[in-house]
């Protein structure tokens, strides 16, 4: 029944849970809880060490099923990059009471809209961190893996005034599923999701996606749907063809070949990037072996996602 829905994600087993993220001199990786309505959300927050000039970027990182915040931080290595670039990193942690397998509930219709469900809870926590720390509101972004990647896409589309860019690794488009059965179909076969109505269609945030072409858990066409959904929304907001051009390039990094497709406006501004990593399964590309659900080979998804985020501050 319900427990069969995410059987494919059961490879993210408990041995890695609770592993501490890298210890970085002068930095802090603190614990916290956030209460909003009837929900309590635990989180970890990475604060870089050293003196910083002015407000810092904030990256919100959403883990996959069966993971926790420390595991995801270890696997992605995002804290070390954040120390280098002077960023705060927030790792919300899904509770077992909200989902038996600690998945974000990306497929339920009640979590698809602004002002309700997990999007509202995560947006509230993000605003709290922004209020308590020196955060640059023009440089707040969200990324995630698998179920976390799908929720990151939802947050970017429902709170474009808060999240200025989105990164989705092995995720799915907004509205890909509205129930358990349709979630399994979308994961296995890909989704041709329609574009749900947006509260602020004038604000479409840039998006970067990563997906392995050997992924047997979430079909790689789902990441393509994320890109298409974003570009279609931009065309719809302008009521005309936006003149977006796509340039593809191939390369090899970390022992794995990849294809990168860049979608640009006529002005040259990058609207979306799609990375397909050849030979990688359902795993964070270029990740750390100390975290679960990572592939140590291939281009570093963390480096590329952070590079994309820092290049896209809000106007």
Per domain, the residue ranges of the chain are 2-310
Residue 89 and residue 87: Cα distance in Å, rounded? 6
pLDDT at residue 22 tops 60: no
**pLDDT surpassing 50 at residue 199:** no
Q: Please provide the DSSP assignment of 16-33 as one string.
A: GTTPPPPP-TT-EEEEEE
How does pLDDT run across 162-191, given as a tens digit for each residue?
999 999 999 999 999 998 899 999 999 998
User: Rounded to whole angstroms, how far apart are CA atoms 306 and 299?
Assistant: 13
High-pLDDT (> 90) share of the chain, %: 75
Task: Please state, for a pLDDT cut of 70, what percent of the chain lies above it.
Answer: 86
Predicted TM-score of the model (pTM) = 0.90
State pLDDT tens for residues 77-116: 999 999 999 999 999 999 999 999 999 999 999 999 999 9
Per-residue model confidence (pLDDT) at position 194 = 57
pLDDT at 16: 35
The β-bridge relationship of strands 88-93 and 56-62 is: parallel
pLDDT at 121 exceeding the cut of 80: yes
> Could you say which architecture CATH assigns to the domain 2-310?
3-Layer(aba) Sandwich (3.40)
Q: Can you tell me the mean pLDDT for 3-10?
A: 38
75, 105 in Cβ contact below 8 A? no
For 40-62, what is the HEC assignment?
EEEEEEEECCCCCCCCEEEEEEE
Spatial distance between the Cα atoms of 56 and 46, rounded to a whole number of angstroms:
12
Q: How, if at all, do strands 207-212 and 165-169 pair?
A: parallel
Q: Is the pLDDT of residue 43 over 50?
A: yes
Q: What is the pLDDT of residue 242?
A: 56
Helix and strand numbers, DSSP H then E, in the chain: 7, 12
CA distance 301 to 208: 10
CA distance 264 to 107: 30
pLDDT bucket at 5, cuts 50 / 70 / 90: very low
Alpha helices in the chain (DSSP H): 69-76, 78-85, 117-132, 147-158, 180-189, 221-238, 301-310
Residue-level pLDDT at 207: 97
pLDDT per residue as tens digits for the range 203-246: 689 999 999 999 999 999 999 999 999 998 877 666 455 578 99
pLDDT at residue 191 in the model: 80
Q: E strand or H helix at 89, and its extent?
A: strand 88-93
Closest to 217 in 3D by CA, of 145, 111, 112, 296: 145
> Given pLDDT bands bounded at 50, 70 and 90, which one contains residue 14?
very low
The pLDDT score that the predictor gives to residue 19 is: 40
3-state secondary structure of 275: strand
How far is residue 241 CA from its own chain's centroid?
27
The mean pLDDT value for 7-20 works out to 38
Using CA atoms, how far apart are residues 37 and 115, in angstroms rounded to an integer? 12
């Amino acid at each position: 029944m319900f427990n069969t829905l995410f059987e494919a994600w059961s490879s993210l087993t408990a041995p890695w849970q609770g592993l501490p993220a890298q210890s970085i001199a002068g930095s802090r990786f603190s614990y916290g809880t956030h209460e909003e309505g009837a929900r309590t959300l635990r989180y970890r927050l990475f604060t870089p060490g050293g003196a910083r000039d002015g407000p810092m970027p904030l990256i919100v990182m959403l883990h996959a099923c069966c993971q926790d915040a420390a595991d995801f931080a270890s696997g992605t290595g995002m804290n070390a990059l954040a120390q280098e670039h002077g960023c705060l990193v927030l790792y919300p942690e899904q509770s077992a009471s909200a989902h038996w397998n600690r998945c974000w509930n990306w497929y339920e219709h009640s979590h698809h809209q602004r002002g309700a469900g997990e999007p509202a809870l995560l947006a509230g926590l993000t605003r709290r961190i922004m209020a308590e720390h020196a955060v640059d509101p023009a440089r707040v972004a969200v990324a995630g893996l698998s179920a976390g990647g799908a929720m990151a896409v939802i947050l970017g589309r429902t709170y474009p005034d808060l999240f200025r860019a989105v990164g989705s690794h092995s995720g799915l488009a907004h509205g890909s599923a509205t129930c358990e059965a349709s979630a399994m179909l979308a994961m296995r076969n890909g989704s041709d999701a329609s574009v749900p109505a947006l509260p602020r269609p004038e604000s479409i945030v840039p998006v970067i996606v990563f997906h392995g072409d050997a992924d047997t858990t979430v079909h790689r066409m789902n990441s393509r749907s994320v890109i298409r959904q974003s570009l279609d929304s931009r065309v719809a907001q302008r009521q005309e063809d936006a003149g977006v051009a796509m340039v593809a390039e191939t390369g090899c990094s970390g022992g794995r070949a990849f294809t990168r497709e860049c979608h640009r406006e006529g002005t040259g501004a990058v609207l979306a990037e799609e990375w397909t990593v050849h030979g990688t399964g359902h795993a964070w590309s270029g990740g750390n072996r100390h975290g679960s659900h990572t592939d140590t080979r291939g281009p570093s998804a963390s480096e590329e996602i952070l590079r994309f985020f820092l290049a896209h501050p809000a106007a």
